[in-house]
Amino acid sequence: MSTSVTTFVPESHADTHHDHHHKQNFFFTYIWSVDHKMIGLQYLWTSFAFLLIGGLLAMGIRYQLAYPGVEVPLIGRLLPSTIATDGVILPGGYNMFFTMHATVMVFLVVMPLLIGGFGNYLIPLKIGAGDMAFPTLNAMSYWLYVVSGIIIVVSFFVPGGAAAGGWTAYAPLSSTAAYNQTQLGQTLWCLGLFINGLSSIAGATNYITTIINMRAPGMTMFRLPLSVWALFITAWLLLLAVPVLSAAAAMLCADLNLGTTFFAAQGGQPLLWQHLFWFFGHPEVYIMILPAMGLVSEILPVFARKPIFGYKAMVWAMVAIGFLGFIVWGHHMFVSGMNLTLAAAFSVSTMVIAVPSAIKTFNWMGTVWRGSIEFTTPMLFALAFVSMFVIGGLSGIFMASTPVDLFVHNSYFIVAHIHYVLFGGSLFGAFAAIYFWYPKMFGRMMSETLGKIHFFATFIFFNLTFFPMHNLGLGGMMRRIADPTVYDHLRALQPMNVFVSWAAFGMGLSTLIFLWNFIWSLRHGKPAGKNPWHSTTLEWTVPSPPGHGNFDHTPTVYNGPYEYSVPGMDKDYLPQDEKAPEGARLEVH
Amino acid sequence: MNKTLTKILWLSLLFVAACATDSLAGVRDSNLYWAPECVTVGGKRVDTLLNFIFYLTGAVFLLTQVVYIYYLVKYRKRPGSKAYYSHGNNKLELIWTAIPTAIFIGLVIYSNRLWSELHSEPPADSVKVDIVGYQFGWDMRYPGADGKLGKVDTKLYSMENKFALVPDDAAGADDFSSTELVIPVGKPVHIYLHSRDVIHSFYVPEFRLYQAAVPGRTIAWVWFQTTKTGNFQLACSQICGSGHYNMKAPIRVVTQEEFDKWQAGKNAAKAAESQSAAATASPVLVVQRNKAEETP
């Protein structure tokens, strides 16, 4: 498969780095590259750009909630007239902010970063393949993502402004121009998601084919690193869930522009949208967390110097999450007007899906138990991931309980919950992964000092931002309101909103430390060598960064991915492609 | 470590500063870190469940985190320390699969029983109110002297027929409207939720109650019983457009006497209004108006 790749960049060999002599091939190397590693990096860089946009939108949201009606300093007067007047954010503009914040973060940051970035970069390297099964499709997948991102961001500047009905786009608000007054913006939102969906479907097809067909000799399914398992299951979820969103977006677009009434009150059914959206939307939650779980499961054993605890339990837990993820969507709709008995049924499946998540948590704890733990930056983020995921998982039990959902539904409690899972979970996992695989990607280490400052700043500000949101939600604060002070019962909570906003600004600034570290280390980081973390998986057996085709010759795999501290061995890790030395007492499982 | 301490200090200062900027302190002044006082019978049962889950999850959180942090400290890398080689333990896997499963089964039984009880048949003597959400406000409709709410056909919503009443249903003729929700304390209240345009939601945190109003449908299963008089606010908690943030209506929970008085006043006003409307609609007046329009 990799032969088609090398024809594009003929000078690349397995051991050469990307050096200046590639200049004549700049276009094929950096722009229309079909090398899975370059595509992975393209996803990474692009998702950083969108992370900045999504982050700025979050800052706008927090500014408005702390200081409603007060001119935004510095940039207020630069905002389009659909968003602000005289520098003061309009309620409609605020609605665009949170709608686009979520849309950007979900579709243009977390999915592309974890799945596009790490999926592309790591899958072939970890299974011992030269590239993806369909390299050109892979490149197309990336460029569709870029196009979808441009469409979504440009929608801010069209007449009427961007979509403003929430990222969940409940119909008939989203499907009726007279109600939403952002017909063009909402149409572009549909188009953007549709194209983004094509990108995901193409990517998923590629991952599944690659993982099934292109594993190196000896790399059985149960010798796959957990990150590959996680991405494999995620790809199935994408393949089955995303087409539903694409179809729903097309129907929404038709309702908006062609006069159809799929989701209209008369002649259609508004709840149909919610069923379609959440049939995609709940697997989507797992699409965003499973890769992070996989990456973290990869990092914990390395720095605990221990095999992952319960490898097979981890795999089956993810498989269970994958299946159950498709029958829990109704828990977003307990109080939507859906049949009450159906709500009770969805509450059962929702409680059931919490079990595999609990299993994973206990296994992570079992992994650090009796380890020899080294607190590097990637390890700190991975360890924090577990704790934050526990908080996000436990707060989910409140909503899963139907009567409690009567109270906390659509309140700030759920905003807290989703951010503990999506930021404390997915993004902490992504940060851990970036610090961990950066040496492989760029051949240099990121600064540990800056990394630790970034970790502690993010960890503290993250909790100061999102933990009080639980209290705001219990206090009765609705999500998606532009000005909480119009409500008597929320005015008393305003100091808490101000506090949360300042913590959020601190978190925004702490991300700049990370970006600085990322860029600075490209030139100034310590050279990494092949295997700076003494890890066992195949990507660490090739140079950093690996050349085209990845492996000089196809590796043969003899062991599972987590053979650390094997008794009877001199070194404390056994790479997957090395035969166990005489006297090593491997546990057969 | 010093950096962390400085940060914590700095943040505490920030918190104090944030509290000091409180120029808007309003109705609530105590217990700001928990839910507002609950004033419905069902809501108190929701609170009991919520507190139960809070203590349960709180205990699980503390237990797991204490163990986790203990492990992290105890098993940190030290000179000469070596990790224990283990791929896991199937007995442990079974235990920590079985225990959460048992807890979740218990919780789902508790939850769904309460869920069905909260949605039992509303008592026959309930006060009935039709609540209609629209961009961006609320209209309430109470049964008139006959005690019956007129039938609704959601296709009929219009500027003239803002409650979408079926014209040939006599029960609706004396229904009166209100822009505030007034309810007698202690009496069951059965609400019918409608929407004229997009999805809105009926949300009153002090009632522990949220229910979406879906255009084209009647949501008829929500009822509650208040335990205390007072003023509250009905909020729309489902994004419904640019004016969503301000889509609210006053709620007054009053004594039965006050309610009766308010209702009597409303009924009388409605009767007077109907009479004058009947007069306006009389053929004579119509003819006169037509004539007036014709004159240049």
Residues of chain B contacting residue A370, judged by C-beta atoms under 8 Å apart: 75, 83-84, 86
Strand ranges across the sheet with B209-213: B181-184, B248-254, B230-236, B200-204, B209-213
Domain tally for chain B? 2
- The CATH number of whichever domain residue B217 belongs to comes to 2.60.40.420
Residue A562 lies in a domain: no
For A539-581, the pLDDT digits (tens) are 999 999 999 899 999 999 999 999 999 999 999 999 999 999 9
Q: Is residue A458 within 8 Å of A431, Cβ to Cβ?
A: yes
Query: Is A498 part of the contact surface with chain B (CB cutoff 8 Å)?
Result: yes
Q: How far is A56 from chain B (nearest CA, A)?
A: 21
Query: Mean pLDDT, chain A, as a whole number?
Result: 93
The 3-state DSSP class for residue A573 equals: strand
Q: Tell me the HSE value of A82 on the side-chain side, using a 13 A CA sphere.
A: 18
Nearest to B32 by CA among A481, A395, A505, A470: A470
Query: Is B237 part of the contact surface with chain A (CB cutoff 8 Å)?
Result: yes
In chain B, which among 170-209 make CB contacts under 8 A with chain A? 195, 197-199, 201, 203, 205-206, 208-209
Residue B249, beta-bridge partner list: B234
Give the amino acid at B251. Answer: I
Q: Is residue A402 within 8 Å of A350, Cβ to Cβ?
A: no
Whether the predicted pLDDT of B294 surpasses 60: no
Whether the predicted pLDDT of A57 surpasses 70: yes
Query: Is A410 part of the contact surface with chain B (CB cutoff 8 Å)?
Result: yes
Q: Is residue B165 within 8 Å of B150, Cβ to Cβ?
A: yes
Contact A170 B238 (CB under 8 A): yes
Residue B99 lies in a domain: yes
Query: Is B5 part of the contact surface with chain A (CB cutoff 8 Å)?
Result: no
Question: Measured between CB atoms, which of A373, A480, A572 is closest to B244?
Answer: A480
- Distance CA(A472)–CA(A492), nearest Å, equals 10
Residues of chain A contacting residue B121, judged by C-beta atoms under 8 Å apart: none
For B12-34, the pLDDT digits (tens) are 545 544 444 443 334 566 777 88
For A356-398, the pLDDT digits (tens) are 999 999 999 999 999 999 999 999 999 999 999 999 999 999 9
Q: Are residues B103 and B156 in the same domain?
A: no
How far is CA A474 from each of CA A335, A406, B56, B114, B223, rounded to the nearest angstrom?
17, 12, 17, 20, 22
For B252-273, the pLDDT digits (tens) are 999 999 999 999 999 999 999 8
For A221-273, the pLDDT digits (tens) are 999 999 999 999 999 999 999 999 999 999 999 999 999 999 999 999 999 99
Q: Are residues B58 and B153 in the same domain?
A: no
For A413-456, the pLDDT digits (tens) are 999 999 999 999 999 999 999 999 999 999 999 999 999 999 99
Residue B45 lies in a domain: yes
Name the residue range of residue A497's domain. Answer: 37-541
The total number of residues written for chain A in this structure = 589
Residue B191 lies in a domain: yes
For B98-110, the pLDDT digits (tens) are 999 999 999 999 9
β-pairing, B188-195 vs B127-134, is parallel
Nearest to A186 by CA among A252, A275, A262: A252
β-pairing, B127-134 vs B181-184, is unpaired
- The CATH number of whichever domain residue A212 belongs to comes to 1.20.210.10
Residue B200 lies in a domain: yes
Q: Are residues B268 and B132 in the same domain?
A: yes
Residue A456 makes CB contacts below 8 A (sequence gap 6+) with: B3, B4, B7
Residue A411 lies in a domain: yes
Residue A513 lies in a domain: yes
Q: Are residues B156 and B263 in the same domain?
A: yes
Picking from A226, A332, A404, A587 by the largest number of B CB atoms within 10 A of its own CB, the best residue to mutate is A404
Higher pLDDT, A229 or A17: A229
Residue B266 lies in a domain: yes
Residue A106's pLDDT band, with cuts at 50, 70 and 90, is very high
* Phi, psi at A218, each rounded to 5°: 90, -15
- Distance CA(A404)–CA(A120), nearest Å, equals 41
- Distance CA(A282)–CA(B61), nearest Å, equals 24
Q: How far is A548 from chain B (nearest CA, A)?
A: 35
For B118-144, the pLDDT digits (tens) are 999 999 999 999 999 999 999 999 999
What count of other Cβ atoms lies within 10 Å of the Cβ of residue A499? 22
- Distance CA(A524)–CA(A520), nearest Å, equals 6
Residue B195, beta-bridge partner list: B133
Residue A409 lies in a domain: yes
Rg (CA), chain B: 28
Q: Is residue B187 within 8 Å of B257, Cβ to Cβ?
A: no
CA quadruple B238, B244, B246, B252: dihedral positive or negative? negative
Predicted confidence at residue B75, as pLDDT, reads 96
Q: For the whole model, what pTM was predicted?
A: 0.91
Q: Are residues B138 and B196 in the same domain?
A: yes
Residue B9 lies in a domain: no
Whether the predicted pLDDT of B295 surpasses 60: no
In chain A, which among 475-494 make CB contacts under 8 A with chain B? 475-476, 478-483, 485-494
Q: Tell me the HSE value of A419 on the side-chain side, using a 13 A CA sphere.
A: 21
Query: Is A407 part of the contact surface with chain B (CB cutoff 8 Å)?
Result: yes
Q: Is residue A166 within 8 Å of A94, Cβ to Cβ?
A: no
Q: CA of B234: which chain A residue's CA is closest?
A: A487
Q: Is residue B174 within 8 Å of B274, Cβ to Cβ?
A: yes
Q: Are residues B205 and B65 in the same domain?
A: no
ipTM summary value: 0.92
Q: Are residues B220 and B200 in the same domain?
A: yes
CA quadruple A318, A391, A435, A136: dihedral positive or negative? positive
Structure tokens, B25: 């302190």
Residue A257 lies in a domain: yes
For A491-507, the pLDDT digits (tens) are 999 999 999 999 999 99
- Rounded to 5°, the CA angle A484-A479-B133 comes to 85
Segments of A393-518 assigned E as strands = none
Q: Is residue B251 within 8 Å of B180, Cβ to Cβ?
A: yes
Contact A358 B96 (CB under 8 A): yes
Contact B112 A383 (CB under 8 A): no
Give the amino acid at B6. Answer: T
Name the residue range of residue B102's domain. Answer: 37-71+92-120
Residues of chain B contacting residue A493, judged by C-beta atoms under 8 Å apart: 28, 32
Tokens 């009150």 belong to A265
A-B contacts at Cβ under 8 angstroms: 344
In chain A, which among 123-142 make CB contacts under 8 A with chain B? none
Domain tally for chain A? 1
Q: Is residue A245 within 8 Å of A167, Cβ to Cβ?
A: no
β-pairing, B209-213 vs B176-178, is unpaired
Residue A288 lies in a domain: yes
Question: Measured between CB atoms, which of A351, A410, A503 is closest to B201?
Answer: A410
Residue B7 lies in a domain: no
Residues of chain A contacting residue B238, judged by C-beta atoms under 8 Å apart: 170, 410
Residue B199 lies in a domain: yes
Picking from A269, A303, A335 by the largest number of B CB atoms within 10 A of its own CB, the best residue to mutate is A335
